[in-house]
Amino acid sequence: MSTPTAAVGRLPNWLHLLFLTLVATATDEFIIAGLLPRIADDLDVGVPAAGQLVTVFAVVYALGAPTLAVLCERFARRTVTAAGLALFVAANIVAALAPGYWWLLAARVAAALCAAVVTAAAFATAAAGAPPGAQGRYLGYVTAGMTTALFTGVPVGSWLGGAFGWRATFWLIAAVGAVAALGVLATAPAVPGAAPAPLRRRLAPLRQAAVLRVVAVTFLAASGGLMFYTYLGSYTAEVATGSYGLLSLLLLLVGAAGLAGALLAGRATDAWGPRRGLLLVLGGHALTLGAAAVAVFAGGVGAAVLALVVGCWAVFAWGLN
C-alpha cells in the first residue's frame, strides 16, 4: 500500500478531493430542502410527495451503507470510490433530465446507494492513508465536507435552482462529482480491500438495550429536525413570503449555526456530562421547533424573526450529533 509522503502539517491533494466528494454527496442528500416547491410545481405533484424524495434517499442510504459495505469491502478503496462517484454522477444526470416524478425518485434511489458506498470508502481511505498519528485529523477533515455542504453546496444549489430551475442544481452536483472522481482516481493512495465482516457482526451492537435506546432517541430527534429542514422552503414561503434569495440565506444560516451548535454541544457534554448535555440539546430542539410552529399560527413574521428562530433551531438540531 502506498502512503502519502506529505508532512503531517500539510494535507495532501487526495484528501482535499475526498473532502470535495463528501461535499457533493451531502449536498445531494440535503438539496431537496431548497428545491422542494419548485420540483413539486414542475412535476405536478404535491409538496408532501416531493418531500418523499428526501425520505427515500435517507432510507436507502441508511439500509445501503451496511449491506453494500459487505459487498464492496474486498475491493480496493480507490476503485470503489471512483466507480461509486461515476455512478453517482450518472444518477444525478438522470435526475436533471427526469421527465417525471418517478424517474426522479428512481434517480434518487441510485444516488443514495452510490453515496453510501462512496462515503464509507472515503472514510476508509482517509484513515488508511493518513501518516502515523494523523488519522483523527484526516478523518475530521473528510467529515467536515458533510457539514460544509450545509452552508456552501445547499445554499448555492438552492440559489441556482431558483435562478435557472431545479434541474441546474443536479447538473452542478454531477459536475462536482465528476471532478472528484477523476481526482480520486489519479491521486488517491492505493488502499487494498479486506475480508468483509459479516453483516450479522456489524449489527451485533443493536442487541444491547443501551445502544437501542440511543438509536431510538437519535432517530426521533433527527427525524423531527430533518422534517423541518426538508420543508424549510415551503415553511419560509408561508411564514415570511420569502423568495429563493431569502431561502438561500436561511440555508446558509442553518449551516453556520449548525456548525456552531456541534462545537458548543461538544463543550457542553465535556463540561456537564453526556446525559445533561443531551437533555439540554433535546429540550432546546423541542422548544425551537415549538417556536417555529407558533410563527406559522401567528400569521407570519418578518424575515429577521424567522432567521432568529431558524438559527436557534439549527444550533440544537446539529448539536445532537
Question: Could you tell me the three cell numbers for 303?
Answer: 424575515
pLDDT of 29 reads 86
pTM: 0.77
Is the model more confident about 147 or about 5?
147
pLDDT reported for residue 4? 42
For residue 171, which amino acid is it? W
d(CA 177, CA 23): 9
Within a 10 A sphere around the Cβ of 160, how many other Cβ atoms? Answer: 22
pLDDT 10s digits, 12-70: 889 999 999 999 998 998 888 888 888 999 999 998 888 889 889 988 988 887 778 77
Residues 6+ apart with CB under 8 A from 168: 96, 160, 161
| Banded pLDDT at 9 (limits 50, 70, 90) | low
- Domains observed in the chain: 13-201 (1.20.1250.20), 205-319 (no CATH)
Tell me the CB-side half-sphere exposure of residue 267, using CA atoms within 13 A: 6
**Orientation of helix 13-30 relative to helix 77-97, angle to 10°:** 40
Q: 6: pLDDT confidence band, cut at 50, 70 and 90?
A: very low
Q: For residue range 260-274, what is the model confidence (pLDDT) as tens digits?
A: 887 787 777 778 888
Any idea which residue has 417555529 for its cell? 292
User: Could you report the per-residue pLDDT of 128-161, keeping only the tens digit for each?
Assistant: 888 887 777 788 788 778 878 877 888 888 888 8
With contact defined as beta carbons under 8 Å apart, do 265 and 320 qualify? Answer: yes
CA dihedral (224, 227, 229, 232) in degrees, to 10, reads -130
Q: How far is CA 238 from the centre of its chain?
A: 25
